[in-house]
Structure 1
Amino acid sequence: MMQRFFDGVTAFAHGTSNYDKIMRLIIQIGLIFLIIPIIELFEYLSQGYFYRRGNGYMTSQFHLKVGEKSLIEFDKSETYDLMEKAKIGTQNLPTASRTTIQCLLYFFPFFILISLYLFSVAPLLVAILILLYTTTLLTEKYKSSMYYNFENTTISLKRRVDGFLNSIVSKEFFKETRTSAALSYLYSLYKKHLNEYGSEKMNVEKKILKREGIMRLINAAGYVGIIALMLFYLINGSISVGIFATVYYSIDKINRCLKNMFQQIGETMKNIATTNFLFDYLSDDKEQKSLLSSLKSTDIHLENVSFGYTNSEKNVLENINLTIHQGETLAIVGENGAGKSTLIKLITGLYQPKTGAVLYGEHPTSDFSTDASQKPISGIFQDFIKYKMTLKENIKVSDMASDQPLEEVIEVANVNMDKFSEGLETLLSREFGGIDISGGEWQRVAIARGLYRPCDLIILDEPTAAIDPLEETRIFRLFEKATVGKTTILVTHRLGSVKIADKIVVLDNGRIAEYGTHEQLLKQKGIYYTMYSEQSKWYAR
């Protein structure tokens, strides 16, 4: 159309074309310029939609795969490196898919059609263009390879940078960071690691810029050659003024479009390279395991169980033999570092023993799926989560579809409903316009949450650490009623609470040092007796 337009204008200027013909050409060109913005708007909206849907889907797949991982994997730094690289893939895969489609349906047809047009004008022009853009393509391939290697080798460093930044600015760290005057030191660590990361990236950018600078000089020389060649053809009469004007006018647009094409191809190569991280992560086959639906008539047996986080480290637990009868309340006590929390994770199947077996009846925990929704197990932990949701959602989060009333668990946990201005619909997050509550009140909400979940086995891991001893006694009395018929495992440092337990296990340096009832252990005058006597002095008048 541009060629026809320029030829028509030239003919009109020489008096060999009429006014009506030139106006038709102007209207045709005008319509094209009106259509282009509409197409570009549609393209812009489509790209955003494509990215949001694609990123949302891949992110959900990533999270599902994370949910399949065993808890022990999260004690390894390699796990977090793999997850961080896979997250890069979730962001880059939609872009890689979109640009691949864009190349196939837009850039490649454009390049082919432009090449055919230029070939009809002067075949040598096509040869020069192919040479120019082959070098550009090689440059983009080099860039994608460099960026892939950079992401692969610096991911751990990037996580440290993010970790130090989080310790400076996040709400969870804010109070202690300020009151302990740790800000300046944390900021120095952040700067140090950020500079190290920036230096690594700068080295990559310098290598890329050197390669790219050479290629741009070649491209500039090529375009000068194209203009010189067109002038030569025009002077010797091989092409018309209209053709020369068309190519000259369009060369910048062609240059920008083809440059954009190869940049997109380069981005696609880079993104496809990084999506390999995601595919590697997602392709880790999920092992098909049985579902554990009930523990109502099942005892739990630990047979010669030993556990360590790595083969090189000393075992945290050593040769544990224990039977927990169905419906029994077992208390686990011991000094810090004795292995109490690790034992809980083994009993619930979150960890698998290095040697020995944890059996539900006759079946080892390794036979069962790690999917928490398929396990009749609930837990109330000291390090509970404060969900930024309503009170109702905080309690019902494990089963929002359940019609079970909340009144009973709220009563057991002694949640003070007078503090919630909108009742169960009160939002527990000041930063989103709701309210904040004390640590003790949050712990009551967490207790209600754990009791609300239908279960046959309930874990109480320091569930009342933020509650005063008198209130703790009242709650544990209500616990006894609420957990009748359920197997209950209680982990606590406050030995006054363990009187409700049928049996008590005393851990010492990863081994069972004592086992029996409260009265039996006091008579033995061993570790439990010493711990209980020392704590009794706290309350002596």
Structure 2
Amino acid sequence: MLESLTYTSKLFYSENKKNVILYFITTILTVPLFLGELILTKRVIDTIQNSTSTFTYKEALLLMIFLVVVIYMNTMNASMKALSSTSLIEIGLYKKEKLILEKSSKLPLTYLEWPKIKALRERAKRLPLFELFEQWMNCIVDFTTIGSLLIILIYYKCSLVSFIIFAGLLLQFSTNKKIVKNKEKIYQKQSSSRLILDYLFNLLVQRETIQEIRTYNMSPYLKKKWKEIFKTNFKEIQKKIISGELRNILQNIVITIMNGSCVIILVIISAKSGNGAGVFVMLLKVVSQLFILLPRFSTNYSSLKSSTIRFKDFIGFLNVQEDMRGQRALPECDKGMKIVINDLSFKYKDSEKNTLKGINMVINPGEKIALVGENGSGKSTLVKIILGLYKQKDGNIDWSIGGESIKAKEAVNGARVVFQDYTRLLRPIRENIAIGDIKHLNNDKKLNRALNKAESNEYVDYLDEQIGPEFGGRDFSGGQWQRLAISRAYLNEKQLTIFDEPTASLDPKAELKAFEAFVNLSDNKTSVIVTHRLYMARSVDRIFVLEDGQIVESGSHSELMRLHGKYEKMYISQSELHG
């Protein structure tokens, strides 16, 4: 549990030393300032009660001035604490988001697609870093204050009152601990269903999906599903809240009885001991303050326990095994990358069967190959393994450039890719292209050359134009977006070019031009195209036909046609369909 205090203290101190020190000092000062106010109040009352000369009245006046100064210092201290915490709140939010984003960027792609990791990340996002730090500081201050007040009671022979108050503290701890534990269990249980709620909500409001939802009148059904999940979650939480509040009601009744008993005992003790009015007022204030502090301390401690549970999820996510991308500059080669795959198999997490089984293939430097097959045959999965984004379950895959071996984590550094699910960046056209190689962000010549290669030369004079009507920019069609995705691939001159269904959103004429660009502009380097359009495969050196995660045929177009197998059937079927 102390790990969370150490972690947050170091984090905030490294980011903003002055504010952390100020917050720490102002928090700790609340204890001596409160005790000083308490003792000065007693002294003032005792001095007034025992005044018999002008001197004592002057002493009382001086004590009153000191009391006012202490009260003013307490107010100023609270203001300074609030001022320092404002900055730390923003730092905590920024650091949490930054750490989660950085971690996500370093995780294996399969982990990011794994529901358990997604749920863990959602729980990690629930941790308020500054609140955790603040809860620790509040608990330390409350504990110190309570301890000091109990010592005062014991000093004035009010041990029975101290015992009753301590019993009340244990009661509140026990009750609040159960309430917090039950709440956190519910939140952890509901982390997956909350992801579904967010997904359904986004479906109903995002412009990419809303048109189809309205056309088919899917909105009532999806809203109903969203409502059902929301109500189920709400009922589970409400049940725990009601149970917790019932415990709180019983606890408050007991605490009220204890409070009244302590006041009665205090009156009796003061009457018997003959203590002055100052002592009685001070002890009365001590008791009343303790019964204010006890529930506050209990609540702060319970909140701290809750936050430490979230902290475990936060640290758990940050400790997930990373898949760091290689940073070294890869060797250059005129012909590109060589890839050798031996008996490779792959299975997604939580999947019962392998997606790829016994894959054997060699892609030679400068060779153009095509991966074809029906949906679900494993083509895109194989591409991600070739890129080093997925790690194979069994078998080996070796990458080399100019005879020099490179590691799996470096393979993606040597590739330029147009994925089927390309990024639609609602930013200026310039940035959409430059994310292919960000160092060329302000190199208009290179950006325009990439646009021309992707048959998107109409944007040459509009590089700084905003995309996306949501931000007052131009609305792009699917084909326009895809040509931008192809442009960013052309900007990135690497040893391996991969097109994963890159022309799906283009009209036939633009599709043909894009494919011709793929064939002619790959700089004679290693190229892989994943496609359903088999006429595109005629121009490549070799074709690999995948079926149910296995390579069932391989060879050139003419060789595969002579086999009279799977490829020929697919090709004839498409030819008859498209004429």
Q: TM > 0.5 between the two?
A: yes
Is 1:331–2:366 an aligned residue pair? no
Is 1:83–2:121 an aligned residue pair? yes
Greater CA drift, 130-139 or 58-67: 58-67
The aligned counterpart of 1:494 is 533
Is 1:277–2:316 an aligned residue pair? no
Give yes or no for contact 1:458–1:487 (8 Å, CA) kept in 2. yes
- Partners of 2:107 and 2:182 in 1: how far apart? 31
Counterpart residue type for residue 521 of structure 1: L
Is 1:117–2:158 an aligned residue pair? no
Give yes or no for contact 2:124–2:317 (8 Å, CA) kept in 1. yes
Q: 1:170 to 1:122 in 2, by over 3 A?
A: farther
- Partners of 1:59 and 1:476 in 2: how far apart? 40
Query: CA shift at 1:216, angstroms?
Result: 2.0
Is 1:376–2:376 an aligned residue pair? no
- Partners of 1:274 and 1:367 in 2: how far apart? 40
The correspondence for 1:99, drawn from 126, 135, 147, is 135
Q: 1:119 to 1:326 in 2, by over 3 A?
A: same
Where does structure 1 lack aligned partners over 5 or more consecutive residues?
A: none
Q: 1:211 to 1:295 in 2, by over 3 A?
A: farther
Is 1:182–2:221 an aligned residue pair? no
The aligned counterpart of 1:69 is 107
The correspondence for 1:196, drawn from 232, 244, 249, is 232
Partner of 1:357, secondary structure, is strand
- Partners of 2:49 and 2:436 in 1: how far apart? 77
TM-score, length-scaled by structure 1:
0.87
- Partners of 1:115 and 1:17 in 2: how far apart? 34
Partner of 1:515, secondary structure, is strand
Give yes or no for contact 1:6–1:246 (8 Å, CA) kept in 2. no
Query: CA shift at 1:361, angstroms?
Result: 4.2
The correspondence for 1:430, drawn from 469, 491, 494, is 469
Counterpart residue type for residue 450 of structure 2: V
- Partners of 1:16 and 1:347 in 2: how far apart? 95
The correspondence of residues 343-422 of structure 1 with structure 2, limited to 5 A, is 343-361=382-400, 368=407, 370=409, 375-402=413-440, 405-417=446-458
Query: CA shift at 1:339, angstroms?
Result: 2.0
- Partners of 2:229 and 2:58 in 1: how far apart? 70
- Partners of 1:52 and 1:430 in 2: how far apart? 30
Counterpart residue type for residue 314 of structure 2: L
Is 1:469–2:508 an aligned residue pair? yes
The correspondence for 2:560, drawn from 521, 534, 538, is 521
Query: CA shift at 1:446, angstroms?
Result: 0.9
- Partners of 1:44 and 1:501 in 2: how far apart? 67
Query: CA shift at 1:268, angstroms?
Result: 0.8
Give yes or no for contact 1:168–1:174 (8 Å, CA) kept in 2. yes
Aligned length: 530
Give yes or no for contact 2:92–2:128 (8 Å, CA) kept in 1. no
Give yes or no for contact 1:294–1:376 (8 Å, CA) kept in 2. no
Counterpart residue type for residue 228 of structure 2: K
The aligned counterpart of 2:379 is 340
Counterpart residue type for residue 118 of structure 1: L
TM-score, length-scaled by structure 2:
0.82
Query: CA shift at 1:375, angstroms?
Result: 1.9
Query: CA shift at 1:441, angstroms?
Result: 1.2
Greater CA drift, 334-343 or 242-251: 242-251
Counterpart residue type for residue 142 of structure 2: F
- Partners of 2:183 and 2:432 in 1: how far apart? 42
- How big is each residue's C-alpha offset from its partner over 1:197-239, in whole Å with a ceiling of 9 and x where there is no partner? 1222223223333433332222211211121123223434532
Partner of 2:164, secondary structure, is helix
- Partners of 1:409 and 1:361 in 2: how far apart? 27
Give yes or no for contact 2:341–2:362 (8 Å, CA) kept in 1. yes
Q: 1:4 to 1:375 in 2, by over 3 A?
A: same
Counterpart residue type for residue 496 of structure 1: Y
- Partners of 2:459 and 2:447 in 1: how far apart? 16
